[in-house]
Amino acid sequence: MTSAIIGYARTSTIDQTAGLEAQLRDLKAAGCVKVFQEQVSSVDTKRPELERALDYVREGDTLVVTKLDRLARSMPNLVDITGKLKAKGVELRVLALNLDTGTPTGKLMLNLLGSIAEFERELMLERQREGIAKAKAEGKYQGRAPTARRKADDIRRLKAEGKTVDAIVAELGVSRSSVFRMLRGEPSGR
């Protein structure tokens, strides 16, 4: 069985062409024989090319990314992805960190870096919550109106025009439950 070096490249938006090209260049230089690429935010739940890459790799292969944030959006997400790779007998290499999970040091470093990233994210969220609480106490923070409430008039107008709930959901980008709530005249949740 021959092993392969497989790459994965991602940018958050289609406007980041230079960033994607740089990743593709670096992955090719690292010896990747096949590269999966996509331009989608890491916060999106669906990253189809990442899923295809994870399905594609086989025992003995190495998945290569240029940076850790191109692969995972959080520590739990990183643990999930590396768990899938480990179960298949696939190693992970992160070029920017010179990290290779094929070595004991690489495995240790990946766990440490992931933990530090999660810690930093939690600190940022804590500071954000504190800032919001302070702004609320000073009467400076109202939050945002829920999307469906802002679109309530549009929901009622489209329904009056004979549109189905599914058509309204598709056109306005709100949930079915929000459409029903607005049509019943109930305040939106949250």
- What are the residue numbers of the active site? 12
CA distance 39 to 109: 27
- In degrees, rounded to 5, the angle at the alpha carbon of residue 175 between the alpha carbons of residues 180 and 171 is 100
Phi and psi angles of residue 35, each rounded to the nearest 5 degrees, phi first: -130, 130
Measured CA distances, 47 to 168, 170, 178 (Å): 26, 21, 26
CA distance 94 to 37: 16
Q: Tell me which residue has tokens 């899938």.
A: 84
Using DSSP, state whether 151 is helix, strand or coil.
coil
